[in-house]
Amino acid sequence: MACTKQFQNHSRRKRIENAIWHEYGYQRQTIQQLSTKQRRGKDWIRDRIRNIPTREHNHTPQPVVAIADVTFFGRSSGICVIRSSHLKKNLSVQGVTHETIDV
């Protein structure tokens, strides 16, 4: 008796994508390190990271104390984080290319 059904393992794919995202985002693994660990190409790893859905955060309007910090990686790129000290949440995260006093 032969089974004629085909099965797709969606949960395995999601599990691998979640592991890649966790290692890339929280454990600061590089694309090269992830491709070596997963035994896949760099483009495959980049595609998995790009295809992971992000959550949209809605903030309730309220008075806050905001703390802004910019960290530069090299001379041409950086990241600006605006964080609420009382809510203990990031309100905004944006990439920056250069430092300026203009808003």
Which pLDDT tens digit goes with each residue over 49-79?
888 877 777 778 889 999 999 988 877 788 8
Same domain for 69 and 103, yes or no, is: yes
Tell me the helices (H) and strands (E) count for the chain, helix number first.
Answer: 3, 3
CA 3, CA 24: separation in Å to the nearest integer? 40
Does 82 lie in the same domain as 102?
yes
Residue with tokens 């070596």: 36
Residues 66 and 47 in one domain: no
| Residue 42 and residue 69 in one domain | no
Does 37 score more than 70 pLDDT? yes
Does an H or E element contain 10, and which?
A: helix 10-25
Q: Which domain holds residue 33?
A: 10-51
Considering its fold, how many domains does the chain have in total? 2
Residue 44 CB: number of other CB atoms within 10 A?
Answer: 14
Band (pLDDT 50/70/90 cuts) for residue 95 is confident
One domain, residues 68 and 95 = yes
Same domain, 44 and 76: no
Paired tokens of 44: 């495959």
- Kindly state whether residue 1 falls inside one of the protein's structural domains: no
Q: What tokens were used for 29? A: 């693994």
Q: What are the tens digits of pLDDT across the range 2-31? A: 777 766 677 778 888 888 888 888 888 888
Tell me the average pLDDT across 88-99: 86
pLDDT recorded at residue 35: 92
Instruction: Please check whether residues 65 and 93 belong to one and the same domain.
Output: yes
Specify whether 70 is located in the same domain as 102.
yes
Helix 42-51 and helix 31-38, axial crossing angle in degrees, nearest 10: 110
68 shares a domain with 96: yes
Work out the end-to-end distance of the chain between its first and last CA atoms, rounded to an integer number of angstroms.
Answer: 71
